[in-house]
Amino acid sequence: MTTLACTTTEPQDGFVFDPFSVEVMSNPLPFYAYLRRHHPVYYSAQYDTYFLSRFQDAWDFLSITDNTFVASESSLPAPEALRQINTGAVPDVSLDPLAPHGFQPSPVYELLRQGHGKPLRPGSIGRLADFIREVTRERLDILLPRGRFDLTQHFGGIVSASVMCHMFRIPLSEAKHVLDTVNAGSLTDPEKGGTDTAMIFERICELVEPVVRARRKEGPDGSFPLVDGMFDVALPGRGPLTDIEIAQTIGVVLIGGTETVPKIVAHGLWELAKDPQQWDTVRRDTKANAPAAFEEMIRYCGPAQWFLRTVRNPTTIGGQEVHPGQRVAYLIPSAARDELEYGADSESFRWNRENNRLINFGHGQHFCIGIHLARLEGRIMVEEFLNRVDHFDVDEANAVRYPSSFQWGWNELPIRVPIPR
């Protein structure tokens, strides 16, 4: 039996936290601060779910990788699904046909991850640096003469989508379509919250399945490891994966690789620009300083809000027994602002903060498989932007941050820059 270091269960002060409420989706940060101080492990009876708001509790929770906690109900279920209270252990998801790989327990999850993980390892990702820098510079060549553009969509979004097109062997001319498809799939209903997971997979598979189908016809030889490795995945008790099953599995890479980094870069550059001293310091030596600055951007500006697991084996939280079927979720931006982990100024942006541990890309079994690519992309985009832009102004009146229970970030961040002479 595993024990997590937690301190409270149900609140006694009338405070209510619902990640799907309009108030929380519009601005969750004040709720997170209150949770950390007063209810670090908050129990929601309507969802039969514990929400972890402090860094160490979330870190310890994610460190448990023995199937005590599983994502078989999805790591991001819709509110109507969470309101269905389980009466016992939740069965494993289907292997044939294959349910999304993120829902799978060990060892199936790891087998699927290994099938497409080779090109996302540090050595392979490093070989993309020149391509990412070229795309970034070409994008700035187009945007800067305009004097006004969207930092999220027109800059970071197109760069990230182009990198995904390159990795998936989709024509670069399709980058805008890829970006729009991913963005549309992650929007949440501002009144009800939640995302339509089935719709997201359907749209992404429309992009990825033709790539898989064409590769199978060509004959995989290992030179396209993102796809080729999936043809050799052997899961217990079933035959080879189908094209649609492969597309669903690797499509998650396309989703994460297209949406998250642009929001971090756009928001992060804005935070940096708010403090002229930090801005000037980082710009003095962008090659040396951009990596550290981007790490702080990840911590402070990461848009993903929370992920959930369902209890599979009996465990205890703060001395209280938690039963199979109950859920536990960790609040990512809250943990990333925990004063106990990051100090008294944890709610502030400080470019050279020593971020020895970050939770924004997860930890343990489900850490983000694209973490090395995200860091490389972000560092290069920040570096190249700072090398070309002396200063910029944000058109705050037209900046858009949609209410969301999942990706709460700056969807649109229009800026003005000096037009090069």
pLDDT of residue 191: 67
What digits encode the pLDDT tens for the residues 357-410? 999 999 998 899 999 999 999 999 999 999 999 999 999 999 999 999 999 999
Q: What confidence tier does 420 reach under pLDDT thresholds 50, 70, 90?
A: confident
pLDDT of residue 328: 95
pLDDT at 2 over 60: no
Domains defined along the chain, listed by start: 3-416 (1.10.630.10)
| Beta partners for residue 41, in sequence order | 52
pLDDT of residue 193: 67
Burial 268-279 (b: 16+ CB within 10 A, else e): bbbbbbeeeebb
pLDDT at 10 over 60: no
pLDDT of residue 1: 42
What type of residue is 34?
A: Y
What digits encode the pLDDT tens for the residues 289-299? 999 999 999 99
pLDDT of residue 199: 72
List the one residue out of 263, 211, 282 whose CA is nearest residue 377: 263
Q: Strand 148-150 to strand 414-416: parallel, antiparallel, or no bridges (unpaired)?
A: antiparallel
What type of residue is 398?
A: N
Burial class from Cβ neighbours inside 10 Å (0-12, 13-18, 19+) for residue 117 reads middle
Distance CA 103, CA 172 (A): 31
pLDDT at 6 over 70: no
* Beta-carbon count within 10 A of 86 CB: 15
What digits encode the pLDDT tens for the residues 62-85? 999 999 999 999 999 999 999 999
Among 192-196, 198-202, 316-320, 400-404, top mean pLDDT goes to: 400-404
141-150, 320-329, 370-379: least confident range: 320-329
What digits encode the pLDDT tens for the residues 331-349? 999 999 999 999 999 999 9
* Beta-carbon count within 10 A of 111 CB: 15
